[in-house]
Amino acid sequence: MFAGFDYGTSNCAIGVMGSSGADVKLLPLDQGRAFMPSTLYAIERELICEYVGQHIPNKQIQDDYLHIRRGLLAQAQKVRIDEDIRANEQSLFFGHEAFDQYLEMPSEGYFIKSPKSFLGASGLRPAFVHFFEDIVTAMMLGIKQRAELTLGHEITHTVIGRPVNFQGFNAEKSNQQALEILSTSAKRAGFKSVEFLFEPLAAGLDFETKLDSDKTVLVVDIGGGTSDCAMVRMGPNYRNKADRTHDFLGHTGERVGGNDLDIQLAGKEFMPLFGMQSLLKNDCPMPTQFFWDAVSTNDAGAQSEFNSQQTENTLRQLLSDTTEPELLQRFLTLRSEKQNYQIVRSAEQSKIKLSEQITDHVDLNYIESQLACQITRNQFAQAIERPLGRMSNLMNEAVKQAENKPDLIYITGGSAKSLVIQQSVKQQFGDIEVVDGDHFGSVTAGLTLWAKKLFS
């Protein structure tokens, strides 16, 4: 059986063809929901490897894995003994359960959100590549098992969505590394055939089913980790073609997405509550990099620096040098309690609310009793000016590659729900029609339709 698999930065989803063979059905993955947050929580990080080793369904692939990870598996056994973790005790959690475990015990265990953001990171040592393979495999195993439980059938073939570029720097090498991680993980999770399709093209294929005349469409897919644009000829005379190569007139993509909007909002509006704009006793401004490292939860290097001993020592010194020690102490508490992911999540929730309301009251009492702030839609717009500018450049470049103006613009992806982004797109392209699509399901639906073409 085949499926479309959106292993997304913010959410994961799996689609199959419905009983009629014409419509796509998204399968429930997370407490009855079709969209599972791309999160993982492990009681101890060593147990991720153990989980993978226990659940790989193919015996030969499992044996190979157990051999190459034998050192890490021995460490996992030691951790179980040292921490008195029972063999039948659940050690890994996914989706909303992972969030719940992290929010209950933020300073305990190992929590990761949006692992897809890290797959193309430059300079990853082999050990880190293997670690991300294990994270992705564990998540894919969990998702595949849930989907198959609902279907009552094994899923053997899949098309997985991919951004145009996983990273902006050294894009070709970055893309190769990320695709190798995804391919290795998918095979270990039990998929026998794995193909990839650009996410904006997948979103376009879903939209094409609704067109009753031929159009040149600018597809704008603003996801959690990347923004991708494609200029595509589509409509009744194109949709049944087996080879669509010449219909794709231009495509661009960059590692800038909803996570970057959350990070900018958290940095510019929340971090001043933690001392980012304080003065030191010598009238010099407080160094800001620590605060940006804290909220850059999609940057492995920033997180490593934020959690380093050197950062701890410097912050302790600054505590005696700042004119507002109570604010920096609040930041030190956030750091020691590992609450930086919660801060960025609060920014994400505020972003979502500001699509429907002008002002949002953000409650931060998980940091400190009665700590809160007000965010307006205008403040949000100002905070995201830089990433929004990069998204606009991608749209312009896709149109430039096509050497043709679009007949209409189709915007999709979870972050495209923001009214600030939608208004920016409309201002940029004037009177060209803008169609607001299925923000969460279009990519999965398109991947499923493409899987039908390839595997049926």
CA distance 432 to 397: 17
26 assigned to some structural domain: yes
In the predicted model, what is the mean pLDDT of the chain?
93
Report pLDDT for 367.
94
How much of the chain exceeds pLDDT 70, in percent? 100
Q: What is the residue type of 183? A: S
* 103 close to 111: Cβ distance less than 8 angstroms: no
List phi, psi (to 5°) of 96: -65, -30
CA distance 350 to 105: 23
Same domain, 58 and 177: yes
249 assigned to some structural domain: yes
CB atoms within 10 A of CB 306: 21
Report pLDDT for 70.
96
Report pLDDT for 88.
87
Report pLDDT for 310.
96
Confidence of residue 168 (pLDDT cuts 50, 70, 90): low
Q: What is the pLDDT of residues 15-28, one digit of tens each?
A: 999 877 778 999 99
For 256-291, the three-class secondary structure string (H helix, E strand, C coil) is CCHHHHHHHHHHHHHHHHHCCCCEECCCCECCCHHH
Rounded to two decimals, the pTM is 0.88
Same domain, 424 and 375: no
Distance of CA 252 to the CA centre of its chain: 18
Same domain, 21 and 108: yes
Same domain, 24 and 152: yes
Domain count, the chain: 3
Q: What is the pLDDT of residues 212-223, one digit of tens each?
A: 999 999 999 998
Report pLDDT for 256.
92
Residue whose structure tokens are 């989706």: 95
25 assigned to some structural domain: yes
Same domain, 149 and 269: no
35 assigned to some structural domain: yes
Same domain, 397 and 352: no
Same domain, 21 and 90: yes
Residue 444 scores a pLDDT above 80: yes
Q: What is the pLDDT of residues 348-385, one digit of tens each?
A: 999 999 989 999 999 999 999 999 999 999 999 999 99
CA distance 109 to 94: 13
| Extended strands (E) in 38-190 | 39-42, 92-94, 110-113, 157-162
Report pLDDT for 239.
87
Residue 280 scores a pLDDT above 90: yes
Same domain, 68 and 29: yes
Domain with 247 in it: what CATH number?
3.30.420.40
446 assigned to some structural domain: no
40 assigned to some structural domain: yes
340 assigned to some structural domain: yes
Q: What is the pLDDT of residues 221-241, one digit of tens each?
A: 998 889 999 999 999 999 888
Report pLDDT for 143.
97
Q: What is the pLDDT of residues 49-90, one digit of tens each?
A: 999 999 999 999 999 999 999 999 999 999 999 999 998 889
List phi, psi (to 5°) of 339: -100, 10
The average pLDDT across 231-257 equals 90
Same domain, 11 and 75: yes
Same domain, 413 and 374: no
State the number of CA atoms in the 13 A half-sphere of 235 facing the CB. 10
Domain of 275 in residue numbering reads as 259-381
> Which bin fits 361, alpha (ψ -120 to 50), beta or left (φ > 0)?
beta
Same domain, 240 and 310: no
